[in-house]
Structure 1
Amino acid sequence: MIMSKFRAPSAPDTRPGASQSGLSLVELLIATALGLILTLGVIQIYLSGNETYRQTQGLAHAQESTRFVSAVLTPDFRSAGSFGCLAEMGRPLDQVVDNRLNGGLV
């Protein structure tokens, strides 16, 4: 009586309308290829974004350096051509400049 619960394995049903369990080899290869293509696309997008980030950081660093140099040199450029305290010596500035241009010390 106990043996009646077990059945002998039957041959697989090969009819066209028979249900199938699992994947065929072709389906598995197509799914793997599609997954690989999607993965490569995501990697390409990541690398492109990373390269853009590096270029942007480089440009920002160059711009920051330019601003720093400009901030340091601007006072010197603004005071170029200035004669400082010479106008406060009691003589008109144009007379002092004429004396200096002609070789005079004072």
Structure 2
Amino acid sequence: MMYIGIISLLALVFITHSLPERPSFPTEELCDLYREKCETKLKKLNCKARALECLDYANNGLRITWNFCNFLNNDNVTVCRERAITDYEIIKGAIMNDTFKYDFAD
């Protein structure tokens, strides 16, 4: 019984490490820039909350893009990296133009 547990754990570790790694993007820096713009140019009162919403919007958008692309393209890392870069630029544009909305409960 103990061997099955050890083998299962090793298989899980192997599978986890063999998955393609999503590229990282400077989402925190982007949302910090957005917060500065929000406070200085847009003069909004909820800039701290909007910066947190920005981070959720960017990170979740990129995560969904990466996972969906890998699913559709049989884990083709090259194709999905290009798609993630394209989506990051789209997300960056939406954030800097203040046209993003992550929390639709409002």
Q: TM-score, normalised by structure 1?
A: 0.27
**Higher helix residue share:** 2
Q: Choose 1 or 2 for highest CA Rg.
A: 1
Q: TM-score, normalised by structure 2?
A: 0.27
Q: Which has the higher contact order (CA 8 A, sep 6+)?
A: 2
